[in-house]
Each structure stands twice: as C-alpha cells, then as structure tokens.
Amino acid sequence: MRFLILYDTPEGPVAFDRHYREVHIPLVRGIPGVRRCIIGRNAVAVRARNCHANIAAAHR
C-alpha cells in the first residue's frame, strides 16, 4: 500500500519544512507497517499546469 501526499507551495517554506520534519515524519514513522518514507521537492507536472512544492510517499 502506498500513501501519496501532495502539498501546494507553502507561504513560509522554512517553517513548513521544520514542522514537516519535526511533526509529520515522526507521525508517519509511527504507523504500523510503514517501511519507508520518500519526500520530493519542487515537482513539475508533465501534462498539467499545476505543480506541487512537496510530495511525500509512505510505503507499507
């Protein structure tokens, strides 16, 4: 199973990264069965105009 999370560009990227690292990642690691968490930045859409600043995937 894979969870995919897409985030729009945050207003305060430094604060967003800190909060994500200190709060969200520990929460994901606490989910039973999660084997890895992958985080990407500045993704560009191939066929659409929308893009996301951050993408996270948790693999179970």
Count of the separate structural domains present in the chain:
1
pLDDT for 14 beyond 80: yes
DSSP category for residue 30: T
- Structural contact between residues 37 and 25, judged by C-beta atoms closer than 8 angstroms: yes
Residue 23 structural domain: 2-59
pLDDT single digits (tens) 28-52: 888 888 888 888 776 666 665 655 5
Please enumerate in sequence order all residues whose Cβ is within 8 A of that of 28, keeping only pairs 6 or more positions apart, or say none. 34, 37, 56, 58
pTM (2 d.p.)? 0.62
Confidence grade of residue 60 (pLDDT, cut at 50, 70, 90): low
Pairing, β 52-59 against β 2-7: antiparallel
User: What's the chain's average pLDDT?
Assistant: 77
- What residue spans of 1-60 are helical by DSSP H? 13-19, 25-29
